[in-house]
Amino acid sequence: MLYKNLNKKIIHKNINKLRSLNYNAYRWWRQYDSPNKPLDKKSPLWDKILNGDFEFSHFYWQAKFNEIEINKIYSQCNPDLSLFNERASLQRARRKRLWIDFEKDEKNRLEQLQKEFIANFFISKKEYEEELIEFGSSIKNFYIYCENKFGKRIKKLSKRGRPKKLMNESIT
């Protein structure tokens, strides 16, 4: 066995939650996608949290599933490593790209979550980081906690476009 994995049942359970993708020549290493499409940028933070936009990245489960496949190939070709290298080269390349995607996606999700919390609550970046480290529950519970402790900001609607005409002035 090359890679130590979690329980295979846990990995298969999480893979079965994902949506299967058709083959894409530009992203051939991705076999699955998140079951829910991310909401628009303008959507409220609470809706994004309920939709699962900030949940753990699905690339992790794809990479772990791929490691199971590599372990199967390794067990079939155990004494002959040149045969293993030949058969597992595509799987290893897929695994490498999935881990890169996981790191990028997870970093982006955490940065976006931080921006959203700072924009929606009266909380500084330093306070956010301290509270997040101390808090040990889900994002939903953290949202409710921040709403009670820091208070919610009221977003002003941006006024864009042409200003309204003044009807009181008469044209002479």
Q: pLDDT value at position 111?
A: 94
Number of domains in the chain: 1
The answer as to whether 87 is a domain residue is yes
Question: What pLDDT does 156 receive?
Answer: 66
Distances (CA, A) of 117 to 101, 113, 156, 166: 24, 6, 16, 39
What is the predicted pLDDT for the residue at 59? 92
Q: Which domain holds residue 57?
A: 8-120
Structure confidence at residue 125 (pLDDT): 92
Rounded Cα distance, 72 and 90, in Å: 14
Q: How many CA within 13 A on the CB side of residue 154?
A: 1
pLDDT digits (tens, 9 = 90+) for 92-107: 999 999 999 999 999 9
For 133-166, how does the pLDDT look when each residue is reduced to its tens digit (9 = 90+)? Answer: 898 888 999 999 999 988 888 776 667 778 778 7
3 within a domain of the structure (yes/no): no
Cα–Cα distance measured from residue 113 to residue 36, given in angstroms and rounded to the nearest whole number: 17
Is residue 49 situated within a structural domain?
A: yes
Q: Helix H segments across 18-172?
A: 45-51, 59-76, 81-120, 125-134, 139-150
Answer yes or no: is 131 within a domain.
no
1 found inside a domain: no
Domain-located, residue 162: no
In a domain, 63, yes or no: yes
Taking the model in full, what pTM does it have? 0.78
Q: Which residues of the chain have pLDDT under 50?
A: none
Asked whether residue 163 is assigned to any structural domain, the reply reads no
Question: Judging by beta carbons within 10 Å of its beta carbon (0-12, 13-18, 19+), is residue 18 exposed, middle or buried?
Answer: middle
